[in-house]
Amino acid sequence: MEGALIREAREDDIAQILALYREAGIESEESFTVEEARAQLAVFRQYPRYFLFVAELEGGIAGTYELLIMDNLAKHGRRSGIVENVAVSPRYQGQGIGRAMMLHAMKQCKDAGCYKLTLSSNLNRTGAHAFYEAIGFQRHGYSFRVVIE
């Protein structure tokens, strides 16, 4: 989207990011307080290639995503990227924010020498699936999870 600035999140963005997660319906049942989220961001910053990005527009946070770039023992040590928690404010959906963020993620991965960028999406989010396919993602394999309690 023209005019959106994609940048790394700052501590003072946390309250808006948490509100965006609630708006977009991806907040967990056990959401962080602002202070807890700031402490978690400090932990993330210790990871060598973990990033929390925001799309800033009109003085506020219109979208956000997390990106982890990791080294792999397989694939001759080549890196791969994983995108998580993509959220766009409902009032900005359909205006190119998600596309701009995913193109940004792809560029981050290309610049880091990644051989792939992956993400997973809930089976019920068919609109999101069409969006990801429209920007070049391909369905590949299956996503599995186990809940650890």
Q: What are the pLDDT digits (tens) for 3-29?
A: 789 999 999 999 999 999 988 877 666
CA atoms within 13 A on the CB side of 142: 2
Q: Which residues contact 38 (CB under 8 A, 6 or more apart)?
A: 11, 14
Rounded CA separation 35/29 (Å): 17
Q: What are the pLDDT digits (tens) for 91-134?
A: 999 999 999 999 999 999 999 999 999 998 888 888 889 999 99
The CATH superfamily holding the domain 5-134 is Gcn5-related N-acetyltransferase (GNAT) (3.40.630.30)
**Residue 138, both tokens:** 């391909």
Extents of the domains making up the chain: 5-134
67 bridge partner residues: 51, 83
Q: What's the one-letter identity of residue 112?
A: A
